[in-house]
């Protein structure tokens, strides 16, 4: 049965900007087979050969960056400035990073056995085969092509299943990769809905998923049936703590950008703010003044905020704000859809008088909302910050460096910023991932490419003796030797006793 074409709509205007055919089950199977054939050739390329193609790809991206910005902005509603400063910047930097670092991270590692010195031990990293990337709609270039880069450098083929809301960016990225000289079918894009993603899980050798907790659990359950590895970056409800000795100007600026960049549609967005009572009102006033100064509008204008991307998500934001107001929250600015536009525009919003009985403080929002809560001290702030099923990111603002590091260690999150926000994602050297229901696995750093590999341990004999001590036949002499040897090697404190005996003999 032929399915209806997928309609891609501009979230800023609601108009249809493209119509695409949905992949059939047969096409998913064919894509996996073609990817597997391409990968058999690709894995024989050296790291230098792969890197040269990546650099050529980056040059083509640079030549087409205005076209890319148009496509990303049209299907997400985000400002063109954010496409350049976030999507394109990340991709350019990631290409250079992985081109330079992959060989180092995947170099065979010599292991020195603590006991069996007659053995040479080496741990190696080899490609898994076909990696499936299932991505969300908030960063349709970073989380598709950007996620594919380390997998490709590790020697894999990649099939991307982008969000049905934003497939055009991934399609353009794959086309430009082909123009750069990437082998046919090495980087493919499958268009469709959740059922296409499920079929991809059934075909791939590993799945990298970014999205909601609920969908991530479904991905994990399906993957475990085939015992294939998964990497899951899921939701977040990231806290920001502002202590009374903070640089309030910096804290307020970081809060507004960290909460509202990409209209708050970032996994590591600041989604709840805890401020010590002595500076609470000053901080709130600074944040409100900055939020009111923000410009919102179409992506081709000089604006800080565009539209949201998903109708479902803007409805969720409205419901959370309504729930908060019913339970006593006050809206200091925003709190509604922008009446000046027909698309999915929600005004940047500041809420106060919030508490943890409100959905806005418990559930992921993924929208342009800043809820600010007054706390008595750092201990209360830390307790509330950890009162969440999520644990992706967090931030602490204070001039007390020692206290900041102690609190950062106690925050239950995979990443923590001190006197900063959202910077974790753009440091590709540093592993990034979640705790609790925010996911498993890491992107970036050595872990970010090794997850796309099979780790193999090779043990080689060094001396070539005709027979190892433990080999057959078993004899009483062997057993007696082992019994005595175990007492010498493993009895607690025997080394100290031996040294004491030697000292007494010398005395």
Is residue 283 within 8 Å of residue 275, measured between CB atoms?
yes
Q: Which residues neighbour 65 within 8 Å (Cβ) at sequence distance 6 or greater?
A: 84, 88
Structure tokens at 495: 């080394």
pLDDT tens-place string over residues 369-427: 999 999 999 999 999 999 999 999 999 999 999 999 999 999 999 999 999 999 989 99
Residue keyed to tokens 């974790």: 424
Distance, CA of 141 to CA of 261 (rounded, Å)? 16
Would you state the pLDDT for residue 489? Answer: 85
Active site residue 267: yes
Low-confidence ranges of the chain (pLDDT < 70): 1-2, 493-507
- DSSP assignment letter at 365: -
* Other beta carbons within 10 Å of 505: 7
Would you state the pLDDT for residue 188? Answer: 98
Q: Which of 365, 251, 383, 284 is nearest to 317 (CA)?
A: 365
Would you state the pLDDT for residue 502? Answer: 57
- DSSP assignment letter at 85: I
E-only strand ranges, 135-215: 157-161, 187-189, 206-210
Distance, CA of 220 to CA of 169 (rounded, Å)? 26
Distance, CA of 189 to CA of 179 (rounded, Å)? 15
Query: Strand 187-189's sheet: what is its strand order?
Result: 187-189, 157-161, 130-134, 206-210, 230-233, 439-440
Which residue among the candidates 87, 147, 164, 267 is catalytic per the annotation? 267
* Other beta carbons within 10 Å of 297: 18
Would you state the pLDDT for residue 360? Answer: 98
Would you state the pLDDT for residue 497? Answer: 57
Would you state the pLDDT for residue 113? Answer: 94
3-state secondary structure 14-41: CCEEEEECCCCHHHHHHHHHHHHHHHHH
Q: Which of 376, 285, 312, 12 is nearest to 136 (CA)?
A: 312
- Where in the chain are the domains? 43-234+445-456, 238-429, 472-502
Length of the chain: 507
Q: What percent of the chain has pLDDT over 90?
A: 92
> Rg for the chain (alpha carbons), in Å?
27
- Which whole-number Å values give the CA distances from 219 to 130, 367, 474, in the listed order? 16, 24, 50
Structure tokens at 504: 């007494």
Q: Which class would CATH give 43-234+445-456?
A: alpha beta
- Which whole-number Å values give the CA distances from 401 to 222, 278, 377, 503, in the listed order? 45, 20, 17, 48
In this prediction the pTM is: 0.94
Would you state the pLDDT for residue 407? Answer: 98
Dihedral, CA atoms, 130, 136, 140, 145, nearest 10 degrees? -20
Dihedral, CA atoms, 167, 265, 236, 283, nearest 10 degrees? 170
Residue keyed to tokens 């050529």: 56
Which residue among the candidates 75, 87, 147, 233 is catalytic per the annotation? 233
Q: Which CATH number fits domain 238-429: 3.40.309.10, 3.30.70.20, 3.40.50.920, 3.50.50.60?
A: 3.40.309.10
Active site residue 364: no
- Which whole-number Å values give the CA distances from 493 to 147, 487, 499, 503, in the listed order? 51, 11, 10, 16
Is residue 233 within 8 Å of residue 213, measured between CB atoms?
no
Alpha helix stretches (DSSP H) within 374-493 = 378-385, 401-410, 445-450, 476-490
Give Cα 452 distance to the centre of its chain.
14
Q: Which of 113, 175, 180 is nearest to 144 (CA)?
A: 175
Would you state the pLDDT for residue 284? Answer: 98
């Amino acid at each position: 049965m032929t399915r209806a074409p997928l309609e891609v709509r501009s979230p800023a205007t609601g108009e249809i900007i493209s119509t695409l055919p949905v992949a059939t089950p047969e096409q998913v199977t064919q894509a996996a087979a073609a990817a597997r054939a391409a990968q058999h050739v690709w894995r024989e390329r050296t790291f230098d050969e792969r890197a040269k193609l990546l650099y050529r790809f980056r040059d083509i991206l640079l030549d087409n960056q205005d076209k890319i910005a148009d496509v990303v902005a049209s299907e997400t509603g985000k400002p063109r400035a954010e496409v350049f400063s976030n999507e394109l910047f990340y991709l350019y930097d990631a290409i250079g990073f992985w081109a330079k670092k992959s060989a180092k991270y995947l170099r065979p590692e010599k292991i020195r056995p603590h006991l069996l010195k007659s053995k040479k031990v080496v741990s190696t990293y080899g490609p898994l085969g076909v990696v499936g990337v299932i991505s969300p709609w908030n960063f349709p270039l970073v989380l598709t092509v950007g996620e594919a880069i380390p997998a490709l450098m590790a020697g894999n083929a990649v099939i991307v299943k982008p969000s049905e809301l934003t497939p055009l960016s991934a399609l353009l990225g794959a086309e430009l990769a082909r123009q750069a000289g990437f082998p046919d079918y090495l980087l493919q894009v499958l268009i469709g809905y959740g059922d296409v993603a499920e079929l991809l899980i059934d075909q791939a050798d590993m799945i990298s998923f970014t999205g909601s907790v609920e969908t991530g659990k479904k991905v994990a359950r399906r993957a475990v049936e085939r015992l294939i590895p998964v990497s899951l970056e899921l939701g977040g409800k990231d806290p920001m703590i502002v202590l009374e000795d903070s640089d309030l100007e910096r804290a307020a600026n970081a809060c507004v950008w960290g909460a509202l960049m990409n209209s708050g549609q970032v996994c590591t967005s600041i989604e709840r703010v805890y401020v010590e009572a002595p500076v609470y009102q000053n901080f709130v006033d600074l944040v409100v003044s900055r939020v009111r100064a923000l410009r919102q509008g179409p992506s081709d204008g000089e604006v800080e905020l565009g539209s949201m991307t998903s109708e479902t998500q803007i409805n969720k934001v409205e419901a959370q704000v309504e729930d908060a107001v019913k339970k006593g929250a006050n809206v200091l600015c925003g709190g509604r859809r922008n009446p000046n536009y027909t698309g999915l525009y929600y005004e940047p919003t500041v809420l106060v008088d919030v508490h943890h009985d409100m959905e806005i403080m418990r559930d992921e929002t993924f929208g342009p909302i800043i809820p600010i809560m007054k706390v008595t001290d750092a201990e209360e702030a830390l307790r509330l910050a950890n009162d969440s099923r999520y644990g992706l990111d967090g931030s602490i603002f204070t001039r007390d460096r020692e206290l900041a590091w102690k609190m950062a260690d106690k925050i239950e999150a995979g990443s923590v910023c001190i006197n900063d926000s959202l910077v974790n994602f753009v440091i590709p050297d540093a592993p990034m991932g979640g705790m609790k229901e925010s996911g498993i696995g890491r992107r970036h750093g050595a872990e970010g490419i090794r997850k796309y590999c099979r780790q193999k341990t090779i043990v080689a004999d060094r001396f070539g003796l005709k027979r190892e001590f433990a080999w057959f036949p078993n004899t009483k002499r062997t057993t007696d030797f082992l019994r005595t040897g175990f007492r010498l090697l493993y009895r607690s404190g025997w080394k100290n006793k031996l040294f004491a005996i030697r000292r007494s003999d010398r005395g």
